[in-house]
Amino acid sequence: MKKTLIAFGALLACAGTVQAQSSVTISGLLDAYVGSMRMAGDPGRTNVLGSGGMTTSWFGFTGVEDLGGGLNANFKLTSFLRVDTGTPGRFDGDPFFSRDASVGLGGSFGNVQLGRGMSPNFLPTIIANPFGDSFTFSPLVLHANVTTAGWTTRTTPSDTGWSNQITYSTPSFGGLKANLHYQFGEQSSSTGNDSKRNVGINALYFGGPLTLVGFYERDQISNPVNPSVITTGGVPDTKKDWMLGGAYDAGFLKAFLTYGQSKADIANYTGKTTSLGVDVPLGGGSVKAGVARTEVSGTYNGTRTTGTVGYDYFLSKRTDVYAMLMHDSVTSLSGGTSAGIGIRHRF
């Protein structure tokens, strides 16, 4: 019996050692809201119980293994889902692990990741606006990534996530960090499109109350489902976009500002987007307000302006409730007003 206990103790000690060298984390976020939605150009109003009012709901696994000598192996497998229906993905046909599906190596040199992950535009866009990664109520995110019945010219040419990519993330240098992105087009030479690919870079600076961000992309491959060559009228197209922005936290409020441009060669348009925002602490939460304005010139000439104001209250560190009011307007179309209240929980 004594020998058995000793052996069992040794086994536990070994297991503890292994566990200290590697770890797997299960985490996620669930966000649901009740809203009355009408964007500019919509023929009518839609009452919804939707998913992802302030953050797209997701869950998944991340892990890291200490390989010694300052080197580690790491992975990410995270999936979007729609809480209102229990359906996986952001939309029908979205890959199951469309948020992240990657494996990499990290160390003092930074981190190299292979697989699906964030595109260059994503982090700068969500950091430089008071509504974060809200694809429902953030004016800047909507202008960059979401087309509507009245507005089909989004400024981001190829989604917020890229498949088939290599991402290199630098170490932090005094608060400054950069990410380099290269997405393989995976096009056959028989099509004549084997040189098509996406490339991009972003930079993030965090220095006390000041935050500065920026990105540049040159996109020739569309995402996220079955990546293919971007075409306009059947002709391969190249789209470019960039943005500079930042935020300053004065304590009594945090102010946000961005400016960016997008251009499509064959589609013949240039978009210019400016956004302003504030986040003001109040009670156990904060008042958020922001506006984005995009001017498009070329084959189509028009302007879109979207403004949102709301309140986000934290019940705990992991759970918050929010209420948002948004107005959307587009040249020559009837405007639309949307409102929603929701709850967001992290685990």
Q: What is the reported pLDDT for 15? A: 44
Residues with Cβ within 8 Å of 40's Cβ and at least 6 positions away in sequence, in order, are 148, 150, 151, 304, 328, 329, 330, 333, 334, 335, 336
For the chain, domain boundaries: 39-346
**CA distance to 45, 217, 255, 262, per residue, from 125 (Å):** 28, 13, 14, 14
* Per-residue model confidence as pLDDT tens digits over 256-279: 999 999 998 888 889 999 999 999
With a cut of 50, list the residues of the chain below it in pLDDT: 1-20
Q: What is the reported pLDDT for 300? A: 82
Q: What is the reported pLDDT for 265? A: 86
Q: What is the reported pLDDT for 9? A: 46
- For the CA atoms of 48, 54, 59, 60, the dihedral, rounded to the nearest 10 degrees, stands at 150
**CA distance to 179, 270, 305, 329, per residue, from 164 (Å):** 16, 28, 34, 37
Which CATH number, 2.60.120.380, 3.30.70.580, 2.40.160.10, 3.40.50.10860, labels domain 39-346?
2.40.160.10
* Per-residue model confidence as pLDDT tens digits over 84-130: 999 999 999 999 999 999 999 999 999 999 999 999 999 999 999 99
**The whole model's pTM is what?**
0.90
Q: What is the reported pLDDT for 1? A: 44
